[in-house]
Structure 1
Amino acid sequence: MRADAARNLNAVLRAGARLLAEDPSTSMAAIASAAGVDRTTVHRRFASREALLSAVFQAKLDSAERVLDEARLTEAPVPVALHRYVEAIVPVSREWPVDTRRMMQQDPEARVRREEQSARLDAFIRRAIDEGCIRGEADPTWARAVLDQLVDTVAHKFHDMKPPQAADLVVGTLLGGLGAES
């Protein structure tokens, strides 16, 4: 793909993610305008808004996959892996604000990929409990829901917070609030 075509595609995907998160009925013309490209450029690449949305979902999943891989959830010490994960997933959440629940309902391939990623996080939470970083009596489902909500809150309600600070806050809250008693 030519460099200008790649830039245009990237701009369309990011504009689409932002605008479709705000209003799922956003027109392709509005997305093209926000991306700074001609409407025909968008239509040439995506036959419909649903096709564009599917590409946005895949881009978000690709980014999340890289974050999970780089966090080293199975090898690094739990607090380190958790910090790496949060520090890297916050920018992904901000860059690709489309709702994961919507993604899972509308795109079967995205649902499978998201479930695989979710299983990796579930295993990490179980590891955190097994290693005593989270109290043993803590419900893993609850701990995971708390992690997800903390990440969502810091990513979307504290826009000015830098990712390293966001990670410090989330890790401190999760491990301090659910941490093993001394």
Structure 2
Amino acid sequence: MDTLGALALATEPPTDKLMKRSPVGRREPLITNIMWRNLFVQALYQVAILLIFNFGGKSILHLKNETLEHAEKVKNTFVFNTFVFCQIFNEFNARKPDEINILRGVTKSPLFMAIIGTTFLLQVLIVEFLGKLTSTVRLDPKLWLVSVAIALVSWPLAVLGKLIPVPEIPLGVYLARIFCRRSSR
């Protein structure tokens, strides 16, 4: 799935803003501070949600009446499904790391949309029809909806995250300064 996501982002046509930007030097960090901010926001959300459902999912998803084995499989499938959908929705965020409107121009990239659609379709096939091969079980429509709704939260969360200011100094340089000060004391 990550390969499809990387391919989707790599096929995104360049914007006029990007084409007018000066080239980035070889020594510049590959991951910008804006990317780090977005990464931290999404990672904190996804790790928190997935850990909550991994350790409390049987109770939260009301699986107490199921057999222990089946409840565990449903919970694990739900966590997996939610994770993949979080990645799908976050691909839209990654297209425009410094813009609020992540959907602008998305239809101008049919290859991006085809890859997103393929990822979505593969996820449905994996969960619904390839259970023996992938150790998943079918989810009922309610769990599908909850899974997608949790993943959809990444969009407003990305908007809120973009309101957090980022320093001009690259994160690596900034952290090096902090650690050098501490080690020299």
TM-score by length of 2: 0.32
Larger RCO (alpha carbons 8 Å, 6+ apart): 2
Give the TM-score normalised by structure 1.
0.32
